[in-house]
A and B are shown apart, each in its own frame.
Chain A
Amino acid sequence: MVDPGRIHTFAGAALIGGAMVLFGAGYAIFHALAGLSRSRRFAYISLVSYAALAACALALVPLLDLEGWWLGLIALLLIGYFVAPRFIWRLSLAVHGEGGGPPEGAARPED
């Protein structure tokens, strides 16, 4: 039998993990909205979401007793969630030719 208090720690860690991914979406959505509307408020909310994401990720370390290369996973999560949405955003702009170049990739006639 496990110490019953311990299970709440694990279940809490699960919920915090879920919240981390939700904040990841918040970060991504507001990053995209900020780019679309050029609004500083959205950019700000996006960064706050990322901060919350980072807090959740770091909270997993003591809750799950992570050590050794599991810490590397946390670092990778922090980097991956930060970079991927920005990367996709840039890609969307570039493909639409909004990065300064001419509009490219016109749809086919039947599109």
Chain B
Amino acid sequence: MTLGGINYHELSFAQRLSVKYFTVAMVLFLAQMLFGLLAGAQFLWPDFLFGVLDFNVNRMVHINAMVVWMLYGFIGSIFWLVEDESGVPLVGPRIAEATFWVLTLAVTVVVVVYLVVQSGPGNQWTLWLINEGREYIEAPRWADIGIVLCMVAIFYNVAGTFVAGRWSGISGVLVLDLIALAGLYLAGMFYTTNLPMDQYWWWWVIHLWVEATWEVLVGCIMAWGLIKTLGARRRIVTTWLYIEVALMFGSGILGLGHHYFWIGTPEYWLGIGGFFSALEPIPLVAMVVHAVYDAGRHSFRSNNHPALAWLIAHAFGNFLGAGVWGFMQTLPQINMYTHGTQWSSSHGHLAFFGAYTTIVVAFIYLAIQRLRGDVWMSAGMDGAWRWKWALALLHIGMVGMSIALLIAGYEQSFVERAVGGSTWQAYFAGQTQPWFVQAMWWRMAFGVLMTAGLVLLLVDFLRAGAQETRPIKSLALPQAAAAGG
């Protein structure tokens, strides 16, 4: 290992694979932002790129790229920790390597097809070859099947490695959660021409991913991360993980009903959805106690400042974006007015960023530290301004954008829903009001700020720890060290 150098070949096989996953994830993150800017610009200049790159295409690439890069980030994180956590090398390195390339090739083909074939009939052919038409997971059927096969291969490697090595609380939860996560994806492939039924199953994927299985997955990643950055005790972290799973699944599974208010599903969903989803923020609030406790106990000493900062951003971002912004519109009495306005978009942006972008970025910083030969990445770290500014720009941009969208959503609820009575005309009237138009400008301005932050972040990923020659200092607490060696 050379301190500050690139120690790619000293990494284990699975960790080298993680670096590949993280690299593709960041390329897609950048693509997500660029397509977001294009879609945002089309709110301001509706003719912009009309017929060349239509809004529906930009929007689709924007959110599909997001889902895919986050999944890449999670898979990368899992491969990063699997050997360390199980104590043995990956069971199927060849398969793992091949899976990465097949998956990445498939993603590339899907995106190219989105961009080349932007319109046309919707029939069995297009369903199989071009676009399945389900928001967030629009990949055509052939790619769906490929994705499922790749997931099976990845699952084989992860679960198989734990079987070959040792199990822990974290790995047990992780493996069970992966089964649920992959199984739910199948619900998104179900085809029917009945729209309420189609939406019914589609929400199984989207809601039960982000509000149940993804939360638990990042809980596992975070648990491992806390042990690594703070030297937190395994026992406390694992116990907390079990509680988190119980609370998340307890409220999140039936919380699904908050998407069944107005899609033609039976009326009892108003009660079930409102009731259980209103309880969803409770685990997120409780999680904050755990973060404060851990940080306080260790007096914010950590061997990787950027990673810790992004882990804290995760705890608060998850709470704010999902908990606060989600609760605002989750009771049917309120959702009746806010449903499908920019209010939802405001929540969607803040929640995805706060809960999932943050944790993937934190994990990449952990990986970079190792890649640089376990260098010092705490107080007095060289070029620390870069990660601090990147974090600040991304957060100011995201919060600013969410507030702008919230204002636009409030205006839409008022003009379109209340005054206009939700007619087709009112839908457009709501989008010509000055409050709405100005909010779209602000969203754009904050979007540019965010993009600048992302570019700086990517530069920092390449530079962090590069000039560093001091080694990491072990962080384990004195008692932990005494007890555990």
Contact = CB atoms under 8 A, between A and B. Distances in A.
A36 B293 contact: yes
Nearest to B481: A107
Contacts of B240: 88, 91-92, 95
Interface in B246-290: 247, 271, 274-275, 278-279, 281-283, 285-290
Contact of B328 (A17, A87, A91): A17
B334 interface: yes
Interface in B413-448: 413-414, 417-421
A22 interface: yes
Interface string B454-485: 00000000000000000000001001100111
A25 B285 contact: yes
Contacts of B94: none
A10 B292 contact: no
A91 B324 contact: no
A44 interface: no
B227 interface: yes
A36 B285 CA distance: 18
A14 B484 contact: no
Contacts, number: 164
A85 B328 CA distance: 21
A77 B333 CA distance: 17
B285 A2 contact: no
Contact of B233 (A32, A81, A85, A96): A96
A30 to B, nearest CB: 9
B231 A81 contact: no
B327 A18 contact: yes
A111 B227 contact: yes
Given A4-B418, A108-B484, A95 B285 contact: no
B293 A32 contact: yes
Contacts of A106: 233, 480, 483-484
B234 interface: yes
A31 B289 contact: yes
B22 interface: no
Nearest to A5: B418
Contact of A107 (B271, B274, B283, B484): B484
Nearest to A66: B333
A76 interface: yes
Interface residues on B, range: 35 or more
A103 B288 contact: no
B420 to A, nearest CB: 7
Contacts of B227: 107, 111
Interface in A1-56: 1-4, 6-8, 10-11, 13-15, 17-18, 20-22, 24-25, 28-29, 31-33, 35-36
Contacts of A60: 331
A91 to B, nearest CB: 6
30 contacts: A2-B417, A4-B419, A7-B414, A10-B336, A11-B410, A17-B328, A21-B323, A29-B289, A32-B288, A32-B292, A33-B292, A36-B293, A70-B274, A76-B279, A77-B278, A81-B282, A84-B247, A84-B282, A85-B289, A87-B286, A88-B289, A89-B293, A92-B293, A92-B294, A95-B233, A95-B235, A95-B239, A96-B297, A106-B480, A109-B484
Interface of B: 84, 227, 231, 233-236, 239-240, 243, 247, 271, 274-275, 278-279, 281-283, 285-290, 292-294, 296-297, 319, 323-325, 327-331, 333-334, 336-338, 410, 413-414, 417-421, 476, 479-480, 483-485
